[in-house]
């Protein structure tokens, strides 16, 4: 058989397989042959009350206090509601709170709850929050986000995490069925931002204890007080069906009747499903974002997330500040964002991203940091960064007494990390011929474990903020932070961060300047090498309105969506 004929037959077989797959899908979704009008998987054009959405990973848990991943956050936030939620302008707004009284110099919060019920008809009460929070912080439960109760400054939270007190001593109590009181050890300017996270959502104690370890493993073992109910779900399943909760206290503001989620890890498959009408939104890879950039349905969504290189300062050569400054200036950040990421990511010139935190006068942190950074090694306006890198390298060689350096760059084995790692390798070696970079790709879990143990030289890492305050990033690099992988230490930096988390909390202008000064030290000493501020590209139907995209916490919220 000749080559052309073989290729043609293979092409026909592929078409037949595709047609069979589409037929089987249709049969599964509509085995009776009746109208697909109300099917959750139908084309967006066929119904105005259903939304079909992708997840790029399985939901790991439906337990609000145990959840840490974005997929779990998204589903939980659609079915549960806390005291506050993030509004459309990225500012916290009351959810189940009717009235809030702030007393005792902003260390005592008294919340009056709205009249609301769980999906079984029982009232949502203050005790539901007390139970959930004490359960969430209990070290015996091993919840990864338990530290957020201490981050919020709730009384005794740190002592509980240190196992010096029982979780019952947490500073939260129900004054009556509708009144919740929270006591802080010190004012917390980002307290409301933290309250939007699922970690702080309520749980009905009787219902939870009825199901025990089986809680959240099926629709029957879930109770909702949010906009939607879970109709179909299995742990690690590839489909989740949500339906409108008729008992939600603001049900009249929810236009959608159903949301159908599909776990689609392959971005090409997601785009195909979008093109055939099976999805109303598709998550794009960098290459796809570049292809669809001019489409009216394309959007680039910024995240409050930083890609950065972490130098291990326990390494003799990397303990040298001049060498670190040479390395951080040796690669083109704008090129990394534009040609490697391709999804709207922006070059990063500091630890705190743009459009993330705003000072007492409403100015962006990055705007206020500009003048300080102009005097740092990375932003000397007299010379291009790569020329500065060469000068720093000459100083480093003189100080270290060597003319060559070899480092292994630890990266994750995903496509984005590999592409970024290869780019950084090529850029650094081209700018600084004295430096040789070897790449080592490992799974994310292994990368986190090795960097946490200090078993690396250079590491490519990323961090997304949990709350909207510069400390969400800057606190990572204090001397004793578990996230300070490179063990960089600076006494002045530690003192500034301590002041920003302590005595300056009641002095917002001084605190803001202190945070700016601390970042200037961090970048000036090249404790980290910022690379990109992360974004991601999507395709979204033009008639889908009201979707909310947030840089922190719950990244995507669809509960207030409608169609035109």
pLDDT-derived band at 502, boundaries 50, 70, 90: confident
The H or E element spanning position 538 is: strand 529-540
Q: Give pLDDT, residue 374.
A: 67
**pLDDT tens figures, 433-492:** 999 999 999 988 889 899 999 999 999 999 988 888 999 999 999 998 888 999 999 999
Residue 341, classed as helix, strand or coil, is helix
Q: Give pLDDT, residue 3.
A: 40
What are the backbone dihedrals phi and psi of residue 264, each rounded to the nearest 5 degrees, phi first? -130, 105
Q: Give pLDDT, residue 560.
A: 92
Q: Is residue 360 predicted with pLDDT exceeding 80?
A: yes
3-state SS string for 252-288: HHCCCCEEEEEECCCHHHHHHHHHCCCCCEEEECHHH
pLDDT-derived band at 57, boundaries 50, 70, 90: confident
Q: What is the mean pLDDT of residues 98-127?
A: 97
Six-digit token pair at 510?
A: 């001084």
Q: What is the mean pLDDT of residues 283-297?
A: 93
Q: Is residue 33 predicted with pLDDT exceeding 60?
A: no
Q: Is residue 349 predicted with pLDDT exceeding 50?
A: yes
Q: Identify which of 32-36, 215-219, 442-446 has the greatest average pLDDT.
A: 215-219
User: Could you give the CA distance from residue 209 to residue 207 in angstroms, rounded to a whole number?
Assistant: 6
User: Could you give the CA distance from residue 327 to residue 313 in angstroms, rounded to a whole number?
Assistant: 13
Q: Is residue 19 predicted with pLDDT exceeding 90?
A: no
**pLDDT tens figures, 321-343:** 999 999 999 999 999 999 999 99
What is the number of residues in the chain? 564
User: Could you give the CA distance from residue 256 to residue 77 in angstroms, rounded to a whole number?
Assistant: 15
User: Could you give the CA distance from residue 97 to residue 114 in angstroms, rounded to a whole number?
Assistant: 6
User: Could you give the CA distance from residue 353 to residue 323 in angstroms, rounded to a whole number?
Assistant: 25
| Beta strands at 108-113 and 346-347: parallel, antiparallel or unpaired | unpaired
Region of poorest pLDDT, from 72-86, 198-212, 304-318, 370-384: 370-384
Q: What is the mean pLDDT of residues 122-150?
A: 95
| Percent share of the chain, pLDDT over 90 | 79
More confident position, 414 or 245: 245
Residue 496, classed as helix, strand or coil, is helix
User: Could you give the CA distance from residue 441 to residue 308 in angstroms, rounded to a whole number?
Assistant: 16
| Beta strands at 92-94 and 548-549: parallel, antiparallel or unpaired | unpaired
Q: What is the mean pLDDT of residues 67-87?
A: 94
Q: What is the mean pLDDT of residues 484-501?
A: 96
pLDDT-derived band at 507, boundaries 50, 70, 90: very high
CA 78 to chain centre: 17
Looking at residue 329, what DSSP letter applies?
Answer: T
| Beta strands at 529-540 and 544-545: parallel, antiparallel or unpaired | unpaired
| Beta strands at 298-311 and 529-540: parallel, antiparallel or unpaired | antiparallel
Q: Give pLDDT, residue 415.
A: 82
Q: Give pLDDT, residue 44.
A: 39
pLDDT-derived band at 233, boundaries 50, 70, 90: very high
Q: What is the mean pLDDT of residues 2-23?
A: 40
Q: Are 527 and 488 in contact (CB under 8 A)?
A: yes
**pLDDT tens figures, 365-417:** 999 998 766 655 444 556 899 999 999 999 999 999 999 999 999 999 888 89
Q: What is the mean pLDDT of residues 192-219?
A: 96
Q: Give pLDDT, residue 56.
A: 86
Q: Is residue 431 predicted with pLDDT exceeding 60?
A: yes
Q: Are 214 and 221 in contact (CB under 8 A)?
A: yes
Q: Give pLDDT, residue 371.
A: 72
Q: Give pLDDT, residue 375.
A: 55
Region of poorest pLDDT, from 43-47, 75-79, 304-308: 43-47
Q: Give pLDDT, residue 173.
A: 98
Q: What is the mean pLDDT of the chain?
A: 89
| Percent share of the chain, pLDDT over 70 | 90
Q: How far is CA 78 from CA 3, 201, 270, 550, in A?
A: 54, 12, 22, 14
Q: Give pLDDT, residue 444.
A: 83
Q: Give pLDDT, residue 38.
A: 34
Q: Give pLDDT, residue 89.
A: 83
């Amino acid at each position: 058989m000749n080559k052309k004929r073989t290729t043609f037959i293979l092409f026909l077989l592929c078409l037949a397989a595709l047609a069979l797959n589409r037929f089987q899908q249709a049969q599964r979704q509509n085995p009776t042959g009746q109208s697909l009008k109300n099917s959750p998987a139908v084309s967006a054009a066929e119904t105005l009350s259903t939304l079909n959405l992708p997840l790029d990973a399985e939901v790991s848990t439906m337990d609000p206090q145990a959840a840490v991943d974005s997929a779990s956050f998204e589903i939980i936030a659609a079915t549960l509601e806390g005291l506050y939620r993030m509004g459309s302008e990225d500012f916290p707004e009351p959810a189940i709170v009717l009235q809030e009284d702030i007393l005792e110099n902003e260390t005592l919060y008294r919340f009056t709850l709205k009249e609301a019920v769980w999906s079984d008809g029982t009232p949502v009460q203050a005790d539901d929050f007390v139970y959930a929070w004490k359960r969430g912080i209990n070290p015996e439960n091993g919840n990864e986000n338990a530290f957020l109760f201490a981050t919020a400054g709730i009384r005794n939270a740190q002592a509980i995490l240190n196992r010096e007190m029982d979780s019952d001593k947490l500073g939260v109590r129900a004054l009556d069925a509708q009144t919740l009181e929270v006591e802080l050890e010190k004012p917390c300017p980002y307290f409301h931002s933290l309250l939007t996270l699922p970690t702080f959502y309520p749980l009905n104690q009787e219902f939870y204890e009825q199901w025990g370890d089986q809680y959240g493993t099926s629709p029957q073992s879930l109770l909702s007080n949010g906009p939607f109910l879970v109709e179909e779900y299995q742990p690690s399943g590839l489909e989740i069906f949500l339906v409108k909760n008729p008992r939600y206290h603001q049900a009249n503001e929810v236009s959608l009747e159903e949301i159908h989620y599909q776990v689609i890890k392959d971005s090409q498959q997601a785009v195909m499903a979008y093109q055939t009408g099976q999805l109303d939104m598709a998550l794009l890879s960098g290459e796809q974002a570049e292809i669809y950039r001019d489409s009216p349905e394309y959007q680039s969504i910024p995240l409050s997330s930083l890609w950065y290189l972490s130098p291990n300062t326990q390494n003799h050569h990397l303990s040298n500040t001049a060498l670190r400054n040479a390395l951080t200036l040796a690669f083109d950040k704008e090129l990394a964002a534009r040609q490697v990421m391709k999804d709207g990511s922006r070059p990063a010139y500091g630890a705190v991203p743009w459009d993330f935190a705003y000072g007492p006068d409403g100015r962006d942190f990055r705007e206020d940091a500009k003048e300080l950074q102009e005097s740092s090694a990375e932003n000397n306006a007299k010379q291009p960064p790569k020329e500065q890198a060469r000068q720093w390298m000459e100083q480093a060689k003189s100080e270290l007494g060597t003319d060559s350096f070899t480092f292994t760059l630890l990266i994750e084995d995903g496509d984005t990390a590999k592409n970024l790692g290869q780019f950084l390798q090529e850029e650094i070696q081209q700018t600084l011929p004295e430096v040789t970079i070897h790449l080592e790709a490992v799974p994310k879990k292994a990368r986190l474990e090795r960097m946490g143990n200090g078993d690396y030289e250079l590491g490519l890492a990323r961090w997304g903020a949990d709350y909207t305050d510069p400390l969400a990033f800057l606190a990572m690099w204090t001397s004793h932070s578990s996230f300070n992988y490179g063990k960089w230490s600076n006494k002045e930096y530690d003192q500034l961060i301590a002041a920003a988390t302590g005595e300056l909390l009641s002095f917002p202008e001084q605190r803001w300047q202190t945070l700016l000064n601390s970042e200037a030290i961090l970048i000036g000493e090249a404790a980290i090498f910022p690379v990109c501020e992360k974004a991601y590209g999507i395709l979204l139907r033009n008639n889908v309105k009201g979707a909310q995209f947030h840089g922190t916490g719950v990244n995507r919220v669809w509960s207030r969506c409608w169609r035109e």
